[in-house]
Structure 1
Amino acid sequence: MAHDHGHDHASSTRTRLAIAFAIIAVVLVVEVFGAWLSGSLALLADAGHMASDAIGLLVALVASVWATRPATDRHTFGFRRLEVLAALFNGVLLTVVAVVVAIEAVRRLTEADPHAPDGIPMLVVAGIGLLANVAAYLVLRGGDRRSMNMRGATLEVLGDLFGSIAAVVAGVVLLTTGFAAADAIASLVIAALIVPRAALLLRDVVRVLTESAPRETDVTLIREHLLETPEVVAVHDVHVWAITSGAPVFSAHVECEEAVFAEGRAGSMLERLGECLRGHFDVEHSTFQLEPAGHSEREEPAHR
C-alpha cells in the first residue's frame, strides 16, 4: 500500500509539472511576441523569467521521472539526488536572468532620451501572463511540499506571478501618465523579486550537496534521545545528512552494556533505536554500529 501511495503521489507530481510547463511555455511565446511588438523591457524580463520557469519545470519533470528509478549496485541510493541537481540548475538560471535584466534596466534608465514602450499591447500581454502564472501556481501549489524540486518549481512560478503584476502596473502607468521609465523600473522590480528566491533555493541545494544536517534536524537532541534508551552507554560518530529534501539519513556508533551482546539482544536493540528515530524524528533510513561500552576509547581518532 505504501508503495502504491508513493507511486500515485509521484505520478500526481509529474502531472502537475507537465500541466504547469504547458501553460508557461505557451504564454512564454505570447510574451516574447508582445515584448517585440511593444518594445517593453518589463515584458521581455518577464518572458526571460518565464523561460527560466519553463526550462526549470522541464528539468524538474525529467528529474521527477528519473528520481523514481530503483537503486542499483552503482547508484545505491537510487536517483533521488537528481532532484537536487535540478534545483541547482533552476537557481543558477534564475540568478543569470536577474543579472541580465538588471543591467539592461539600468542602461535604459540612464539613457538621455528613453523610448516609451507601447502601453496597450504591453498591458494586454502582461495581463495574459498574470492569469497564466496564477493558473500554473494553483496547479503546483497542491504538490509535494517536501520535495525541493517541486518547491523550487512552485517558487519560480510564484515569483513570476509577482513579476507579471509589476509588468501590468507598468503598463497602466504608461497608458495613464506616459512615464517612460516605468517599464525599466518594473524590470528592476522583477529582477529584485528573482534574486531572493534564487538565493534561498541555492542555499538549500548547497546544504544537501555538502551533506550538512537538514535545517529541521537537531543532532544534539537526537544524540540525547538515543542516550535515554535503556542499556545505551554512549553515542558517537554521529552523521546526519539528506539524499534529497525530506529524505534524512542517520548513522551513529552506539555503545551498549555488555548484557546486550551476552544475551543476544543486539537485534532488538537495533529495532528500538530505529523505531526511536522513526517515531520522534521522522528519520526512515538509519544505520547503527553497536559496540561494547568503552569501545570509542580504542578508536583512533575518536569522534563525538
Structure 2
Amino acid sequence: MAGHVHDHEHGGHGGHAGHSHAVSADADRKWLWSALVLLVVFMAGEVVVGFAARSLALISDAAHMLTDAASIALALVAMRLAARPARGGYTYGLKRAEILSAQANGVTLLVLSAWLGYEAVTRLVSPPAVQGSLVLVTALVGVVVNVAATWCLSRANRSSLNVEGAFQHVLTDLYAFVATAVAGAVVLFTGFVRADAIASLVVVALMLRAGTGLVRDSARIFLEAAPAGIDPDAVADRLVAVPQVEEIHDLHIWEITSNQPALSAHVLVTPGGDCHAVQHELQRRLREEYRITHATLQVDHVGEDGPDGLLQISPNSAAAAASAGEQARDHCGDTHGPVHRSGPHPH
C-alpha cells in the first residue's frame, strides 16, 4: 500500500534560474575564450624562449599554462554538455561533465608537478647555464598576460568548479611568473643559476596545491559526499525538531554538480499529523537555511495502518527488525545511516 511521497522540485523557480543561467553561460564562454587565446599565444612563445634560454622555470610555467589552457577548453566543452536537457538514461543530463573535466585537470597538474619536481631537483644538483635576461623579460611579459587572463576569468561565473579551477590556475601562474622573474633577475645580476631551479620548485608547490584541491573537490562529488560546510547529522537534527516530526532516516545529501546540492529522506510524523504542512515546512528550512532546493521527501504517519488505507509506519521499525535479525514488516528493511528521532536525544 503506497505511503505519502512528496517530491518538491520548485519547478517554477528552476525554470527561471535556467533562463538566467543560459544568459550568463554565454557571457562566461566569451570571457573564457578571451583568456584561452591570451594563454595559448603566450605559452607558444614561452616554450620557444624557455628552450633557447635553457630555463626550466620558464618551461615549468609553460607546462602550467598548458594545463590552464586545457582546463579552460574542457570547461567550455563541459558547459556545452551540461546545458543539454536530461533525457534517456541520463536523468541529471550531463551536468557532471564539468566535474570530469575538473578531475582530469587536477590529475594532469599532479603528474606534471611530479615530472617538473624531479627535473628541478636534478638541476639543483647539477645546474646548467641559464640566460637570466631572457628569463626576466619573458617572465615580466607573462605577468602582464596572466593579469589580463585572470581579469577575464574573474568576470565569469566562478561558482562552477571548472571556472573556479581555471581562475585559480591562472592566478597561480601569475604568482609563478613573479617567482620566475625574481629568479631571472638573480641569475642576471648575481650569476646564481640555481635560482632558476628554486623558482621551478615554487611553481611545482603551487601546482601540487591546485591539483590536490581539484582532485579532492571533484572526488567528493563523484563519491556523493555531502557538500563542504553541510553536516548531514546537523541537518537531520534541525529537521527532526520541526513540530509533528517523530523520526527521520535514510537521509542523503549530495551534489549533482558544482553548487547544486540535493537531498532525499524518509520522514515519519505523529499519528494524525498534517503530512503536507510538515513537508512544506521542511522544504522551507532546507531552502532558507541550507540553500537546498532540490529535495525529495517521503512522509508517512507513525502507527498502524489507518482507516483511510494509507501506509503508516511503526517508529524505527527497520532498526528494531535489524536488531532482531529480521526484515522490517512495514518499510525500510535496509536503512542507510543513523536514525534521528524527536526529543532531547534525536540520535
- The TM-score bracket by the shorter chain reads over 0.9
Check if 1:146 corresponds to 2:159: yes
Answer whether contact 2:71 2:162 (CA < 8 A) is retained.
no
Check if 1:54 corresponds to 2:69: yes
For residues 300 and 3 of structure 1, do their structure 2 counterparts lie closer, same or farther at Cα, with a shift above 3 Å needed?
A: closer
Q: Which amino acid aligns with 2:102?
A: A
1:23, distance to aligned residue in structure 2 (A): 0.9
**Which of 284, 294, 304 matches 1:275?**
284
Check if 1:202 corresponds to 2:235: no
Partner of residue 27, structure 2: 12
Check if 1:301 corresponds to 2:316: no
Partner of residue 189, structure 2: 176
Q: Distance in 1 between matches of 2:296 and 2:38?
A: 44
Answer whether contact 1:208 1:242 (CA < 8 A) is retained.
yes
Question: Matched residue of 2:103: which SS?
Answer: helix
**Which of 113, 131, 135 matches 1:98?**
113
For residues 71 and 16 of structure 1, do their structure 2 counterparts lie closer, same or farther at Cα, with a shift above 3 Å needed?
A: same
Q: Which amino acid aligns with 1:116?
A: A
Answer whether contact 2:224 2:255 (CA < 8 A) is retained.
yes
State TM-score, norm by structure 1.
Answer: 0.93
Moved more, 86-95 or 138-147: 138-147
Residues 1-304 of structure 1 correspond to what in structure 2 (within 5 A)? 1-111=16-126, 114-260=127-273, 265-293=274-302, 294-297=314-317, 298=328, 299-303=332-336, 304=339
1:148, distance to aligned residue in structure 2 (A): 0.8
1:192, distance to aligned residue in structure 2 (A): 1.2
Higher helix share: 1
Question: Matched residue of 1:245: which SS?
Answer: coil
1:295, distance to aligned residue in structure 2 (A): 4.9
Alignment size in residue pairs: 298
Q: Distance in 1 between matches of 2:301 and 2:84?
A: 39
State TM-score, norm by structure 2.
Answer: 0.82
Question: Matched residue of 1:196: which SS?
Answer: helix
Answer whether contact 1:170 1:186 (CA < 8 A) is retained.
yes
Deviations 1:220-253 (A, max 9, x none): 2211221222221111111001111211110000
Q: Which amino acid aligns with 2:148?
A: A
Q: Distance in 2 between matches of 1:270 and 1:73?
A: 29
Moved more, 292-301 or 213-222: 292-301
Question: Matched residue of 2:247: which SS?
Answer: strand
Instruction: Tell me the percent identity.
Output: 38
Deviations 1:171-216 (A, max 9, x none): 1111111111111111111111111111111111111111111111
1:13, distance to aligned residue in structure 2 (A): 1.9
1:16, distance to aligned residue in structure 2 (A): 1.9
Q: Distance in 2 between matches of 1:2 and 1:55?
A: 29
For residues 302 and 187 of structure 1, do their structure 2 counterparts lie closer, same or farther at Cα, with a shift above 3 Å needed?
A: closer
1:85, distance to aligned residue in structure 2 (A): 0.6
**Unaligned segments of structure 1, at least 5 residues:** none
Question: Matched residue of 1:154: which SS?
Answer: helix
Answer whether contact 1:116 1:179 (CA < 8 A) is retained.
no
Moved more, 287-296 or 265-274: 265-274
Higher Cα Rg: structure 1 or 2? 2
Deviations 1:106-133 (A, max 9, x none): 111212xx32211222211111111111
Answer whether contact 2:269 2:275 (CA < 8 A) is retained.
no
Answer whether contact 1:137 1:154 (CA < 8 A) is retained.
yes
Question: Cα RMSD between the aligned structures?
Answer: 1.5
1:296, distance to aligned residue in structure 2 (A): 3.6
Moved more, 187-196 or 292-301: 292-301
Q: Which amino acid aligns with 2:18?
A: H
1:65, distance to aligned residue in structure 2 (A): 1.6
Question: Matched residue of 2:242: which SS?
Answer: coil
